[in-house]
Amino acid sequence: MGEHIEIMGKDIYFWNFIVLMFFTLFEVAAVFYDVIPGTEIEVTKLMVWAILIVVGIIKGFGIAAFFMHLKDDPRIYTRTALFPVLFVILMLWGIGLSNPAGVTELPSWCTPNWDYAETR
């Protein structure tokens, strides 16, 4: 089990916690600063997107693999967790292919009676 692995006298959960905290700080800083502190390197939007996606994957893996024990549990649990991800990918793909009017041009009766629906 994961708890038996120790690095510098601390178990894997502790290090996972530290990694999660560090990457949270990193992603907040990546968005907060326009220029990397101490340099003149501009933090572009492409960099921000890449950082948010990569950090999200690392943090998601850390939580699922270690805190949720998927790394040590039988594979059926990992498959169960990943099964809906297939649908999520399909959904995102469908969204990418869909027409913008599919969302912004919905008739008023399809939307709650909010101000934007009445004034559109």
Partner 1 sequence: MSGGHGAHVENGIWMRAVMMGGILLTIGVLLFATLGVFMANEKHHVWEELEDEYHHMEVEVALDGIITDKEAADLDHLHHEEIAAHLSYLTYRVAGITILLMSITYAAFIGVGGLLNSSKPAAEHGDGHDEHEHHGSSSPIIFAFGIMLFLAGFPDFVIACKAMLNADLTPDFGMLALSMVGLLTIVIAVSNWWFEDLPFNGHGEQIATSYPFEGEHIRKAGLWVFIMSEIMVFATFFSSYLRMRTEWCTKWAIEDGVEACQGVEPVVTASDLIRNDFATILPGAINTFALIISSYTIVLALKTAKNAKWEPSTGIMGKIMPTRKAAIRNYLIATLALGSLFIVLKLVEWSHLVAEGFDIGTTQGSIFYIATGAHGLHVFIGLLVMLYLVFKADTVGYDEDNAQGIEYFGLYWHFVDLAWVVIFPAFYLY
Sites of contact with partner 1 (CB under 8 A): 3, 11, 13-14, 17, 20-21, 24, 27-28, 31-32, 45, 48-49, 52, 55-56, 59-60, 63-64, 67-68, 74, 76-77, 79-81, 83-85, 87-88, 91-92, 95, 98, 100, 103-104, 114-116
Nearer to partner 1, 39 or 97 (CB): 97
3-state secondary structure of 11: strand
Q: Residue 52 CB, nearest distance to partner 1 (Å)?
A: 4
Q: Which residue, 22 or 41, is less far from partner 1 as judged by CB? A: 22
Closest to partner 1 by CB, 40 or 114? 114
Q: Write down the least CB distance from residue 66 to partner 1, Å.
A: 8
* Helix (H/G/I), strand (E/B), else coil: 107: coil
For 1-120, where are the alpha helices, taking DSSP H only? 12-32, 45-62, 75-97, 101-104, 115-119
DSSP helix/strand/coil, 33: coil
> Going by C-beta distance under 8 Å and a sequence separation of 6 or more, which residues neighbour residue 70?
64, 77, 78, 81
Alpha carbon distance 36, 84 (integer Å) = 37
- CB 108 to partner 1: min, Å: 13
